[in-house]
Structure 1
């Protein structure tokens, strides 16, 4: 290490320059020049260790009379502070070894010993005692002794003249030469990690504890520090500052000027004649960074109005340029099944070969399902053909397939009409609607279209950032995005992927290659992919869900109007036109309404499923044959009660297979349906979360049990249906009832499922249940009439306060009296009926 050797040891290997000029060295004394030992040879002949902590690690360099210190600048590269951050590395030793390797005679000098040896002329009357390198400050201290006949200032002037005539330029800084100045103060040699900078803090200290320090003027500071380099500014301490000790800032134009000044002037005492006060003023110097540590983060935190918008812009640009193409690719693969292993021909072939041993079982089951479905599709052949015809037309409009649950809407579209279409995208609104919270809703929507990567959790974090921004700058940054904007991104990327798929068949050698993309898409409707939106308007009575459906409708309108894709909606809601009409108000919806199967088809479906099962076993077929005739005779009446709902017919067939007679199976289905009605609509109803009351639901059940169809407008006149339209629409969504429309207006109310008609009748046959629920209706009606009586009595009291009872008020008084009497009569009537119901409840279980 340079700091642990004397110059003699550093020069132990004779360089070529020294070998070619073996002249004697002299130093000046009172008797003239005389030979002196080699530079760096101590009087005792011992090596004296030196380091960056001063002599004996005291932090100072002790000088005796006739001794002085030079500080040489530009000895080391200045920007080597990062070496101190490397673990287990001694930067002094590493730097010395590295620099000596490049120290060649033909190059500029590199290590400390060589530079100082060149800088000191042979004729200078001084003796080098030791060298203390300053790696962090890019220089080195040289302690020397001299004869009393010459002063240190004279040696400094001689050294400057010599270095001016023969400048030394190190290899690492060829634009600046080595400089040397006499140290006038008492330098502090520390090995703390303090990075030099161009600003010096000059503190004014008293020379003794009893004395006081003078605050130096800018002129005095300039005269003291200008010799070390160009000064850009001298900043005195503010006059109102109470910080002690007093100080001033001296800003140099270069860092090396500041390091020279700090090492030469630290500990210098300004005498009285130069403005240092009565007892003089001691200068204490330290580096002061113009920018404190962490200034970058401080600036960011103090300028959120600038930083946050820039951050949002950078994140947006990153998302658009990096993630959006990736997401569009994954959406395209999701639609075309490019990454689905089960859709590859090789996978299907291997799977078919491995499962050949199960062909008989698989064929039998598949044949049974195929036969069942074939019966249904034959009945709906016209609807299938109509749907396929619309998909090859150029008209940009919606296609809506509406029907009750269990009517086979999805099977008709996917398995029949779109059986041979290659590119299909299915979006299940039910999964999106049932997701709780914005993050889960975003993740569910992204999963439906294959949108990935999706950072749904970022929505919560960005909301917190926006909340913090509101507290700091008073406005939102726009960093957080609403559910609406996040869904818009997903639909936008899906639109781009669908358009790429639609344009994929286009070739450069086509005859219509001169067409624009929009014109080509309009002329080739068969190339457009198909988007199927399943469970549309599923539980659409919630505000946030309605927003999702509205955005889906707007997105679907964009796809159809721009001829990017065909859109098919599958819904059970008969009022779908209200939602879709917002997206395409000037277009006509093409609609296919699926109803329940006819009795003939329903009977054929059940018989086919029963007879297929009897072929599995001969013994079972005998049993089936023995009771087949009686079952078939009974089946006609059962079908009339059960209706043509596919799910109910399959349930009936499974029960008959299990050994039950058709009559018993239907009774089980009716009882199960009645239990579901009780649980969902009548008994366990949370009124706070539902828009209907048990009394309203029971009234519909009771009236539909007596009449297959109710008049819609007549029902709205009933006293317990004051908010009737909202209640009826909600109950239709819950599938308790179905509303029939004619000429665009509702006119009739029927049970939600055909089997519900029998279930309603079954419920009304229970006298205790009927008495309990009828009593609840009467109690509500009595409350309504009592409120009417109170209202009329209050008005009569107000009218009676007029003096003399004006003749003009007499008709109004008579009207109030008649109304009060009529309401009271109703109350008496209801109470009489309620008494009978209470008696039933008290006598029967």
Structure 2
């Protein structure tokens, strides 16, 4: 009989579920993680193995419906169906005591041997998904921390811990924090590994539960809470940015330190190499051999370019320069002497514009053949901003890379910092600091230039020695052949056969047995003898005359060349050679090689070799030093005043440290005070250049007019007019341009003087509102102009101690700085005052001869003098009143009469001042009448 179904048995119900299988793929930790690319090749094999494993599980009617890989989280979802018994009515067996489905599946998987992973091992495991997984493909990668959002009442830590702990070790759980309205509250669960976090995220997301109260006896709200999980990266850019913005006092110094370290470690070596490349012309394409070869074989063959080159180097173009340089040989010699000494001070070359400073320097540097770095202050003086000054200096020195924008950025940070915390961050650096940093790198690079130059010279010396050794070896072989001291044994084969032919093995040195008596003269010796005879015969008369005029008893006969006793020695040698003796032949070879041959055919190379051999170690050290040239050394704006001071200190450091020779060029002698201040312990090597003399100036004008295609024939009156301009090159150039444009010489000279008057009115006297800002008063400058209009020069100290200066030396220095006057020195002290330009004397005369202008300035000058005299009178009167009170103390028979003598002196001084006032008042009355003239 078939068994009947019991009414108490549980009913079977079929349900669906989802499993998460972990670790079968690598967990992708970021976009940079490339492990998943390798795992994708085994994707089908791993899923097939997973399907086979799942098919072996039959617990509770377990049946796999679908596999969905979750490669980003390193696992896969398994959708399955299973049967679950339900509780029948009246049953006494509780359903909760039945084994858990998840535990049964885990047990069965372990019995089978585990789940195969991408690494080939059996390390996979299964977890029952309680919520609804979010299968997104965004760039949200696994992390140790999972943020759990609560869509409903908050979940207590105890409940959250019990829910999450099965998936792995938990390091920390945070309580929910207050959030803005409309935002979900959340807790963060920090696991010990990303593997545990991926399990929790894929199994708990979307799970809904009702939490029990944490306090016993407290009723629950009964509202369900849905959990939503997301990965949280440990370091977020937004948090880091907020922290950086909130701690400027900590971040600022750290950033500054990192920038400084980066600049010192990376950029400073690059900048040093860039400066060395500029000084040593590594990147100058004109110095490349290929470019030189191309130019020589292309452009130089075109007549147009040859014409341009010949014009630049023609005598017509250089004649005027040569003429102007006749009076400057002493200055050039002084500069060359400075460049051939160990540097200990600065060479300060000063002179007016057009005086030939640049030409003299170029000559001296060409003669010295030294590495040169040129810094021109003129374009830096025209800079409009701090960044332009820094960029200009960096470009001239080869300093690269330079980040001027960084200073602007730090300035903005300082402004923001002042607004936020009330003080600057200190990141921005001043212009002076940046200039010092640039020049410090340049100074270090110059030290490297010297070292590299020594390496190059040593390499050249080694190559020269190898060449000399090869030439000497070649010469020895030639000498052996010439002296017939060797023979080729293989030639013996021609003399016979058999054993005699086999003995010839090569070049062998002949012995005395092989020699046939006297040595025969070879063709080389005969050619040398004929050459010596021809040379002596052609120059016999000239040599004899010169020998009679220059020879003295006891003169040295060892000197090389064609002069004096060497010729007599050679002639004697030739006579001995004619006798065809062995001794004569050897002497002839020696004389011909050492005296005649090299002295005539290769004089330059021979001289350079002797100079190189005789060069001392000190000369080599000096030759290796670079030359730093600072041109147009002057400060015309407050912006470049810092630059000039920094350059002066830097130049002093280079010269004092023996790093380089420093040549500073300026149009004004007063600029040397900055250098003297920077180098107080050592005097400057001062080299002064003046204007050309009248003869040189006239020659300059004639040469220029000849170049312009204008007749250079000048009349006597025209020469006198040109003489009024003096020797200033700029004024002579202006004259030549005016004559070239069709203006007569007389009119051109007068136009230059008239234009100078207008410029002088503006620069010396200025406008009314500019009078207070000028470094001198109008009375002082007019006194100088009026005096120089009458005399070529004025005694310096006589002008300084008298009215209107009264010891005001700063006013005279300022006039010299503005090139209104020039102050000459004698024995290091100021001596005389002259016009700033030679033409200024006639400009002063023309300005003073203006009746209205002269009257106005004379009246102002007299008023100053009257005020000074009145001040003297008041002081005398006050002292006389004081003497009147103490007169009774100095009266009597035995009195010294000191008060009476002092009173007489004061009365005399008072009388002189009063007389001066009367004369000046009368002069002013006359001058005021001149103002009524049209």
| Bin for the TM-score computed over the shorter chain | 0.7 to 0.9
Kindly report which structure 2 residues correspond to 1:428-443, keeping only aligned pairs within 5 A, or say none.
Answer: 428-443=376-391
Cα contact 1:131–1:143 (8 A) shared by 2 = no
Are the structure 2 counterparts of residues 345 and 239 from structure 1 closer, same or farther at C-alpha, using a change threshold of 3 Å? Answer: closer
Residue 552 of structure 1: aligned partner: 647
Are the structure 2 counterparts of residues 183 and 838 from structure 1 closer, same or farther at C-alpha, using a change threshold of 3 Å? Answer: same
Are the structure 2 counterparts of residues 589 and 199 from structure 1 closer, same or farther at C-alpha, using a change threshold of 3 Å? Answer: closer
Cα contact 2:176–2:185 (8 A) shared by 1 = yes
Cα contact 2:19–2:78 (8 A) shared by 1 = yes
Residue 754 of structure 2: aligned partner: 671
Residue 681 of structure 1: aligned partner: 764
Residue deviations 1:742-763 (CA, integer Å, cap 9, x gap): 4443343221111111111111
Residue deviations 1:219-252 (CA, integer Å, cap 9, x gap): 4544444333222234445799999988654433
1:534 aligned onto 2:534: no
**1:361, 1:183 → 2: CA distance?**
92
Residue 302 of structure 2: aligned partner: 354
Cα contact 1:119–1:163 (8 A) shared by 2 = no
**1:100, 1:531 → 2: CA distance?**
67
**1:428, 1:117 → 2: CA distance?**
85
1:268 aligned onto 2:209: yes
Are the structure 2 counterparts of residues 716 and 582 from structure 1 closer, same or farther at C-alpha, using a change threshold of 3 Å? Answer: closer
**1:214, 1:358 → 2: CA distance?**
95
Residue 282 of structure 1: aligned partner: 224
Are the structure 2 counterparts of residues 170 and 317 from structure 1 closer, same or farther at C-alpha, using a change threshold of 3 Å? Answer: farther
Structure 1 stretch 816-825 or stretch 708-717: which is displaced more?
Answer: 816-825
Given the alignment, which residue of 373, 396, 400 partners 1:425? 373
Cα contact 1:375–1:605 (8 A) shared by 2 = yes
Are the structure 2 counterparts of residues 676 and 243 from structure 1 closer, same or farther at C-alpha, using a change threshold of 3 Å? Answer: closer
* Displacement after TM superposition at 1:569 (Å): 1.7
Kindly report which structure 2 residues correspond to 1:205-354, keeping only aligned pairs within 5 A, or say none.
Answer: 216=156, 218-237=157-176, 249-262=188-201, 263-264=203-204, 266-270=207-211, 277-278=219-220, 280=222, 282-287=224-229, 289=232, 294-343=238-287, 345-346=292-293, 348-349=295-296, 350-354=298-302
Residue deviations 1:376-433 (CA, integer Å, cap 9, x gap): 2233223323322332223533222222222111111113563562532222122222
- Equivalenced residues, count: 736
Kindly report which structure 2 residues correspond to 1:380-529, keeping only aligned pairs within 5 A, or say none.
Answer: 380-415=328-363, 418-419=366-367, 421-469=369-417, 479-502=427-450, 503-504=452-453, 505-507=456-458, 523-529=620-626
Are the structure 2 counterparts of residues 246 and 30 from structure 1 closer, same or farther at C-alpha, using a change threshold of 3 Å? Answer: farther
* Displacement after TM superposition at 1:483 (Å): 1.9
Given the alignment, which residue of 551, 568, 581 partners 2:663? 568
Residue 739 of structure 1: aligned partner: 823
Find the residue that maps to 1:591 and give its secondary structure: strand
Cα contact 2:67–2:79 (8 A) shared by 1 = yes
Residue deviations 1:595-646 (CA, integer Å, cap 9, x gap): 2223343344445555x469x6xxx86xx76xx5xx1x33564465332323
Cα contact 2:27–2:142 (8 A) shared by 1 = no
**2:178, 2:702 → 1: CA distance?**
107
* Displacement after TM superposition at 1:103 (Å): 4.6
Residue 89 of structure 1: aligned partner: none
Are the structure 2 counterparts of residues 417 and 154 from structure 1 closer, same or farther at C-alpha, using a change threshold of 3 Å? Answer: closer
1:841 aligned onto 2:931: yes
Find the residue that maps to 1:401 and give its secondary structure: strand
**2:317, 2:447 → 1: CA distance?**
36
Q: TM-score, normalised by structure 2?
A: 0.67
Given the alignment, which residue of 146, 155, 158 partners 2:83? 146
Are the structure 2 counterparts of residues 258 and 401 from structure 1 closer, same or farther at C-alpha, using a change threshold of 3 Å? Answer: closer
Cα contact 1:130–1:144 (8 A) shared by 2 = no
Q: TM-score, normalised by structure 1?
A: 0.73
Find the residue that maps to 1:294 and give its secondary structure: helix
Residue 158 of structure 1: aligned partner: 104
* Displacement after TM superposition at 1:521 (Å): 7.0
Cα contact 2:630–2:665 (8 A) shared by 1 = yes
Cα contact 1:200–1:286 (8 A) shared by 2 = no
Are the structure 2 counterparts of residues 223 and 441 from structure 1 closer, same or farther at C-alpha, using a change threshold of 3 Å? Answer: closer
Residue deviations 1:20-69 (CA, integer Å, cap 9, x gap): xxxxxxxxx9999xxx9xxxxxxxxxxxxxxxxxxxxxxxxxxxx75253
Q: Which has the higher contact order (CA 8 A, sep 6+)?
A: 2
Residue deviations 1:254-312 (CA, integer Å, cap 9, x gap): 34434444534820234679979445463432336365562333343344444433433
**1:214, 1:606 → 2: CA distance?**
102
Are the structure 2 counterparts of residues 98 and 407 from structure 1 closer, same or farther at C-alpha, using a change threshold of 3 Å? Answer: closer
Residue 754 of structure 1: aligned partner: 838
Residue deviations 1:137-178 (CA, integer Å, cap 9, x gap): 544263534142588853223112112323534434678833
**2:835, 2:132 → 1: CA distance?**
101
* Displacement after TM superposition at 1:101 (Å): 4.9
* Displacement after TM superposition at 1:699 (Å): 3.2
Residue deviations 1:459-488 (CA, integer Å, cap 9, x gap): 222332344456667776554332223222
Residue 699 of structure 1: aligned partner: 783
Cα contact 1:678–1:684 (8 A) shared by 2 = no
Cα contact 2:317–2:707 (8 A) shared by 1 = no
Residue deviations 1:174-223 (CA, integer Å, cap 9, x gap): 78833334455x546464856554445567777xxxxxx6864x545444
**1:738, 1:692 → 2: CA distance?**
15
Measured on the aligned residues, the alpha-carbon RMSD in Å equals 5.0
Cα contact 2:370–2:625 (8 A) shared by 1 = no
Given the alignment, which residue of 667, 679, 682 partners 1:584? 679
Structure 1 stretch 350-359 or stretch 74-83: which is displaced more?
Answer: 74-83
Are the structure 2 counterparts of residues 155 and 596 from structure 1 closer, same or farther at C-alpha, using a change threshold of 3 Å? Answer: closer
Residue deviations 1:693-751 (CA, integer Å, cap 9, x gap): 44443332223223433344454456664793322222211111112334443343221
Residue 126 of structure 1: aligned partner: 62
**1:273, 1:523 → 2: CA distance?**
92
* Displacement after TM superposition at 1:679 (Å): 3.0
Cα contact 1:642–1:754 (8 A) shared by 2 = yes
